[in-house]
Structure 1
Amino acid sequence: MVEPSTFPWVAVFALGAMAVNSVGIYAIYRHKDWAERNKEYFMCFAAGVLIASPLITAFPEAIGKNSSAGLAALLGFAFMFFSNRLIKHKTQQDELAFGITAIEGIGIHSLIDGIIYTVTFSVSTVTGIMAGLGLVIHEFAEGVVAFSVLIKAGVSDKRALLYAFLVAALTTPLGAFVAYPFVSRLTPPVLGLALGFVVGVLIYVSASHLLPEAKAHEHKHSYLALVAGMGLALLLKVLH
């Protein structure tokens, strides 16, 4: 069962993610060149955290609660892979269709992020913090991307600012707060499966979304940010 004390952690990280995402949206709205130049560093650092944290903390805890958590992780990875392929297939249309389907995918992704906060903190505070840090950091780049695809679709700057906030930023705390009452009733074996599914999602997001996007626009020393992200996850594990 989820302890009542976990809710403040879920709220802090979910609202923090919304704030960081909003900063990314506003940064590209006001300073497009700076935001575009630096988003790869945020992506690489977040990818490092999101690769290391599930493998060294969340996955062992999931297996400890349910021996079938590995299958759940595979399902989580497969779910993200096929849903992402579906979205990419739809984007092979005109600019407006691209913007709509891309922002739809970002919205779903952000909603899942919120649910992830609830599941990981339900297992332990340390697991939640380690997964949450990577998710919060990558929100900056996600905000930049959300605004960019709307502009590419022909939406005006001010409307893109509003729509990006509603779809990419606000959906994260929405997902967390809606999921919390349900997750709080899960038994440990079911929670283990849920955490395993989350592990698969996080590994997919880092390895198949953040890193390829960063590599496509590789900057000097950008992969030092990846190593730094892994280092932070290991440091948190050691301190724990």
Structure 2
Amino acid sequence: MLQSMQAPLFFGLIAAFVTTIGLIAVAARGDWSARHSGLFALAAGGMLVTLSILHITPEAFALSPHAPGLILSGFLGGLLMSFLVRVIFPEGGEESHAAAATPVLAIALHSFIDGIVYSVTFAASFSSGVYAATSLLLHKFPEGVIAFAILRRHGFANRQAFLLAFLAAAATTPLGVIASAPFMYGLGSETIGNLFAISAGLLLYVATGPLMEPLKEEPPLRSFLSLGAGVAIAVAIASLPFHRHSHALNETLFHNHDPAHIHPLSD
């Protein structure tokens, strides 16, 4: 099993490194990032909703017939989590630490699922694992930025925001690889599709709810430009050539549903 974990764990660590680079980029100017945290949140919302619609949701629909209901469940689950946080911490407003819990947990769950996908795809085919992992890597940089922006907006100090964003958006990917390794061959395409759907619903809630709160505070033009910049960055990421290989993820997972097609670490 240790040998079969080497490739997915390697790419999981690369994913964590890429996310950390994004974190360093914004944390290096922590005070400036804090002053403009509202604009960062809007840009992050634009990126998150675009990537969810262009990347995560199509994968969910391709892999699971239950995707529509699970996406709605994920969205409503995020709404319920946010409501419970505000009930448990009634003093929690936009600037409170508690208000950051739901969006950061949603990002952590999505990042953890990425790690599971790495394990499953590499278990079926090395080449398909590389293509799928490369495609997913493209989205790791903004995840760190988004998590950091959320935490800074809700009152966390620069060092605290960096550490918590690292744990939520970076460390969870290799953790997902390690946690899924013992049963990677037993996960079928529908199970992965269900996880993608729940993740997409949660992230859509985060993108259209907590991350859109600065619309009430920032000037309309700056808000529009920040939101548009986030959408443009996400569209550029989704349009990169690596996405022509994203079908490898679907094919690998469909084949993985049949044990006869599993060839660990073979091309």
Instruction: Say yes or no: TM over 0.5.
Output: yes
Q: Mean Cα displacement is larger for which, 49-58 or 2-11?
A: 2-11
Matches for 1:207-222 after TM superposition, within 5 Å: 207-212=208-213, 214-219=214-219, 220-222=221-223
Letter in 1 for 2:174: F
Q: Structure 1's 231 and 104: CA in aligned 2 closer, same or farther, altered over 3 A?
A: closer
Aligned-pair CA distance for 1:62: 1.3
State the partner residue of 2:199: 198
State which of 84, 87, 95 in structure 2 corresponds to 1:86. 84
For residues 75-132 of structure 1, give each alpha carbon's deviation from its aligned partner in whole angstroms, at most 9, with x where no partner exists: 211221111111112222499xx96645655764553353144256667346524543
For residues 35-88 of structure 1, give each alpha carbon's deviation from its aligned partner in whole angstroms, at most 9, with x where no partner exists: 333222322222112111121222112111111122221221122111111111
Aligned-pair CA distance for 1:187: 1.8
State the partner residue of 1:139: 147
Distance 2:92 2:69 in 1: 38
Letter in 1 for 2:37: K
**SS of residue paired to 1:112:** helix
Aligned-pair CA distance for 1:191: 0.5
State which of 68, 71, 74 in structure 2 corresponds to 1:76. 74
Aligned length: 221
State the partner residue of 2:257: none
**Contact in 1 for aligned 2:44/2:230 (Cα 8 Å):** yes
State the partner residue of 2:39: 41
State the partner residue of 2:169: 172
Distance 2:188 2:147 in 1: 30
**SS of residue paired to 1:221:** helix
Q: Structure 1's 221 and 64: CA in aligned 2 closer, same or farther, altered over 3 A?
A: same
State the partner residue of 1:112: 109
Distance 1:210 1:200 in 2: 15
Distance 2:200 2:104 in 1: 20
Aligned-pair CA distance for 1:138: 1.0
Q: Structure 1's 188 and 4: CA in aligned 2 closer, same or farther, altered over 3 A?
A: farther
Letter in 2 for 1:225: S
Q: Mean Cα displacement is larger for which, 195-204 or 68-77?
A: 68-77
Distance 1:229 1:100 in 2: 24
State the partner residue of 1:13: 15
Calculate the TM-score normalised by the size of structure 1.
0.73
Structure 2 residue runs without a partner (length 5+) = 122-131, 244-267
Aligned-pair CA distance for 1:27: 4.1
Calculate the TM-score normalised by the size of structure 2.
0.66
How many percent of aligned residue pairs carry the same amino acid? 19
Distance 2:27 2:237 in 1: 29
**SS of residue paired to 1:170:** helix
**SS of residue paired to 2:90:** coil
Structure 1 residue runs without a partner (length 5+) = 150-159
Letter in 2 for 1:217: E
For residues 149-204 of structure 1, give each alpha carbon's deviation from its aligned partner in whole angstroms, at most 9, with x where no partner exists: 5xxxxxxxxxx566545444334333222222344512211101111111111111
**Contact in 1 for aligned 2:42/2:223 (Cα 8 Å):** yes
Q: Select the structure of larger CA radius of gyration.
A: 2
Letter in 2 for 1:209: P
Distance 1:207 1:139 in 2: 15
Aligned-pair CA distance for 1:15: 3.8
**Contact in 2 for aligned 1:66/1:192 (Cα 8 Å):** yes
**Contact in 2 for aligned 1:49/1:133 (Cα 8 Å):** no
Distance 1:57 1:101 in 2: 29
Distance 2:88 2:133 in 1: 39
Distance 2:23 2:66 in 1: 34
